[in-house]
Structure 1
Amino acid sequence: MLDTGNFVLATSSSGILWQSFDEPTDTILPGQVLNQRSRLVSSFSSTNASSGRFELFLDGELALHTIKYPIDVTNSAYWLTVTGGSGNQVRFNQLGIYLHAANGTLLTLISSSNETNSTASQFYQRAILEYDGVFRHYVYPKRSSSGRPMAWSTLHSIPDNICLLLPQNLQREWVACGLNSLCSMGTDRRPRCDCPIKYIFNDPKDKLGSCRRNFPEQDCKVESRGAEPFTMHEMLSTNWFGGDFEYYADVTEDWCKQSCLNDCYCVAAVYHPGKECWKKRYPLLNGRTDPQEASKTFLKITKDNSTVGPTTTTTNTTPWSQAGEKRKNQSSVIISVSVLLGSLVFILMLLALLYVFKFRGRYPKKFSAYQAVPGVNIRSFSYNELEEATNGFEEELGTGAFSTVYKAILNDENGKVVAVKKLHKTVTEGEQGFLAEVNSISRTNHKNLVQLLGFCNEGQHRLLVYEHMEAGSLADLLFKESRLSWSPRVQVAIDTAKGLCYLHEECSNQIIHCDIKPQNVLLDENLTAKIADFGMAKLLRKDQTRTTTKIRGTRGYVAPEWFRNMPITVKVDVYSFGILLLELICCRKSYKQDVENENEMILAEWACDCYRRKELHLLVGDDEEAIEDIERFEKLLMVAIWCIQENPALRPSMKEVILTLEGSVEVSTPPDPFSFIRFV
């Protein structure tokens, strides 16, 4: 061990066989040199010395970036030198830390030891990339007469305030703190990560990690209750960067807050005094609170007396947990509630009278289904027939946003088993969805689409009768311990692609499904996959290739263009299929919160990272069949990455997807699917 701290393995003639200075971990010492492609990796925490989240890397530029996305150092950097890529060597001596070119030219000073106001040789020095992502230069006096305390003290920090720094890709990367977490600088000039009110850490031991909701999310399927159980919590001097799906200019603060409250996809709204509003989706990224921050955040949380589900009241002493909480005295509450209840009773009485005198008898108890849906030549059932077939709607097979599906046995000579879908919506809303489904499905005929056998259009009752799928939904078979084996999963992917291709390219009217997900892919007794649920389908005429409409689909499978002012085309289904394909080959859900490594939460991002790192084994896991067929696994992964491109124009058609899945066409290397968002 040399006085420099370098541990050397030498020969008898002093030849160096190995030295610790060539294998740095998170620390460098005076006399040590970092050459091209050298790196420092932070520890995981102050008490856990295993590899952490941050890396200092020299590759033409000296850069700090998160290890989560080491695909491109420059793109992933949250701090870097700007030398035109000519940096070749980092040298640490008693005068400081310097970046040099290959010819020895000094390019930039990283940290100077002259700031000690004393002779640099009077101090011990070290520089360390710490677990919080900050590269700190420390000094320790050799003698008490130096004027500095006899302890390690920070001479220089890079960056000075990591909370203010942002990654290159705001939509999928974060720096100091994890998802849904807020970064603030403590009095010790170290970053601190806090969960906002009613959010808790995924791992209580990881205080720089991600947070999660400690209350049920707003369900887009629960139409009747809407935003009633939720409120907007005001957080002053707080902002979140990235994760926007809508932006509005020249709007009021109240409008911004109410718009998010009424939008089931919105979890927070950031309002800037310049009358600008950004609506954010889950999870929240790059949160920070800072006294100089002009924006405020309205965070959607459940009310304390909400009945949405179990909630935990969180006592939070941080500034954002106190802002906007106004107490009202008890008498005011009683008066307000009384007035509201009285008004509600009065309105209900008026509505009842209006119904009796104006609308009673508007709908006959029964009328011909062929009058409601001209040209549909499938069987029409009475409501009593289906009520009897389902035994009073006894056995539920599944439930969706606007309907519940029941098992039924028809009263015919064969006793055919069918599935009866009962729509929940009101007459007006329900009829719209009902007619859309009957008209679209009755004209389709493909082995990979669930067959519509009949319907009921009687009074206020809207029901659809489908063929019964013995094996149930793909979700039932994919996310359980007794999962589908590799070969059937591949075939399910091909079947689903063929069904979508038929809807997009072979129907008389092009159909966008809008809600492709495992729950809407059903399997028969032979494990043949068939696409179900056309309740959200969007039909296009032959001369119409795109449309715009309100957001449809299920969280996690919705294409980015739904959240932007972009045309909606069949490519939204291609995106959803890409997510489904990832779930099929990896046998896990698109978003999984209970994971040890937060980088694995969002399947699409994790899969892309594993592909670029050539670490497919992490995705395959213990699936021996997939391991034996790893070349095909990689091919399917590449197809999925093409399908989830942020730029719709880069996504393939479903016909092209089929050709690649079946091996007729080779798959080219896909680009980073998330790069397009930087230019939108």
Structure 2
Amino acid sequence: MATLAAVSSLIFLCLSLLPYYSSAANITLGSSLSATNNNSSWLSPSGEFAFGFRQLNNSDLFLLAIWFNKIPQRTIVWHANGDNPAPRGSTLELTTNGLVLNNPGGRMVWYASPSPATIAVTKAALLDTGNFVLTGNGSNFVWESFKNPTDTILPDQTLDLGSMLFSKLTETNFSKGRFELHFDNGSVQLNPVAWPSRSLYNWYYSSETSSINSSESGNKFVFNASGNIYIVKTNGETAQLFPWVTITPRVDLYYRATLDSDGVFTQYAFLKNSPTNQSWWALRILPGNMCTAIFSDIGSGPCGFNSYCSIQNGRPSCDCPPGFVFVDPNNRFMGCRPNFRQGCGGDDDSRDLGELYEIREFNNVDWPLGDYEKLQPYNQKDCEQSCIYDCSCAVAIYDGTRCWKKRLPLSNGRYRDTGFSKVLFKVRKGDSFSDFGDNSGSRRGRPILLGALLLGGSVFFNVVLLVAVSIVVCVWHHKKEAGNNVQDSSISDTNMRCFNYKELEEATDAFKEELGRGSFGIVYKGVLRSGSRNAIAVKKLDKLAQEREREFKTELSAIGRTHHKNLVQLHGFCDEGVHRVLVYEFMSNGTLANLLFAIPKPDWYLRVRISLEIAKGLVYLHEECNVPIIHCDIKPQNILLDQYLIAKISDFGLSKLLLSNQSRTRTMIRGTRGYVAPEWFKNVPVTAKVDVYSFGVMLLEIICCRRSVEMEFEDERRAILTDWVYDCYIEGRLDVLVDNEEAATADVDRLHKWLMIAIWCIQEDPSDRPAMKMVMQMLEGFLDVPQPPCPSSFRVSVEY
């Protein structure tokens, strides 16, 4: 009988595993995929799921992912290494050690290995459940995507204690975002994250299924094949995620449950074999009201600091109050910042604050936390005056008898359509701020964030570009008079395009959306109506100079041929009639300065990636162009960030025209305080080593997240970043430089090495500085970094 029972159990086990193995198409050792197009994938037997590379928005970056393959959206349900997508040409290979993802240079950037690591992988498969598995000897799963989830779980997936999900940063950015789901201590909990760190704030939803009695505590988090999601306790009982109830299963639906970028855990459904215009719909969500679910003295709330949250169609929506604009117009959940000067000090000390500030009323919104003073009984006028004459006060809440004063940043803002209260914002008279009739603050937000894109560089480059366009006008005007309408061959061979004015007028909707303005022109956002329909930044120039025709044509030809993923692209120009226009690639995330010097500071590994991207762009300019280009003004304001926070160097065009007028070169360059190489102040030839010096200063800024010159420090040595860094480096106080940042101190070997590289870059003698190619090799670890000597001219570049 015992033998019969054992045989029966074995048969039952085999039958229970049969659906998994019958639905698996084995992938053999040595199989590989390449990040070259969206067809590089492995399919499940039914074809409902695919595993492979997905190109990100026609860029040169690819995401290793699993997705629904039979629906038009190709919705991604799992991804690898979202913080660092794979560049074009990367390869994934199945080896006995697991999955290995290598970049085009053959360097491993991600892997999935069996547990324990001593087990050899024999094959892999993508199951019809959407689970990608690695199999060892004996057909056991030694690694599963189901056991290593990202933001989504699927039917037939079970999470063990200690499992977690993390949201994406945005719908199109697969970096780890601002929310996490944790299944710990028997309960499912949703937590905000102190982004860009991974530090957790208090939960805003909990299943509350933990128990002192371990048998009654949650043990498994189950998404069953019928589409129901619940918790299984240690004693076998089930518990629902309140207030969810059991749903009626339907075989004609796809299901998924995702922790969305807005922090809402949502179960979605999609009708199989549906029309192409159908999309996923939400069956149920947790929590029901995200705006009120998060309520904590620590952290910003669901929408970021200085913003407020409202529910639109069941989802949280974020807006800015009067006088504030979005920190990132493309991610409204990252908070808002004031669009005017604040506080007291400087020239304000001698003026009446009532002449500087005024109150703007804004109702039906509340920031319930963060009061630092309550005044009562008070009338509204007293409340307004108290805030105006208080340097710390940014906003006051008045309810008829009481006045609560608040300072920035404001947190946990939410829309409130009931109850009497007035929100009184203090704004500076005469400053540019958002239209108070537009609560979103988004229209004026773009000029502030993106104005630095094309007008934030030095005046010098605007002048040179003006000269450039004027020369083009002269050349073409001469050709027209001569009856020759053929474009100059040296320019026509480039990637630059000649736009006509009507085309640009249509692209910008009659120059409607202004991004920023400067002394030489206005920049507008546009979208090309034909072809790619890409967004563009259009700069209308209003002042021109007439000089240096032959030199400009040579330079324009060279710059038009430049093409690198870490350079901002100058697409073309227009010189029709009186119109002088330059057309640039549109960059949606502003300058590196905006990111680097903001609060909270960006993630350490994001800063590492950006540093490498800038170095690659400079190597291209110095050594890989047909005509080498010296930038001459490397600084965070001239590094722009695209929608994926990929760094691109701007204002590199026509840089080496500076060499034709050395005295003018000194005058113009000295305006960029803190980045100027010492040789600019000496009567010596200028080489590409001036860019190396500036890169070294900027690398220190990226490491320390502070500006190169901050004179408000009492300690003079700390005021000049290069001085302070070298002191700390010699004394071994590296943790102080990064303000004890956990990720940076954990990566201490890289921190130490990169500080040495930066110190080599800022040596006084140009011959002592490495070339950018050598800098790149040292940053990537291909070359050893010797002990650097003490630079002797830290202050030369800032005392003028």
Normalising by structure 1, what TM-score? 0.46
Normalising by structure 2, what TM-score? 0.40
Greater length-normalized contact order (CA 8 Å, ≥ 6 residues apart): 1
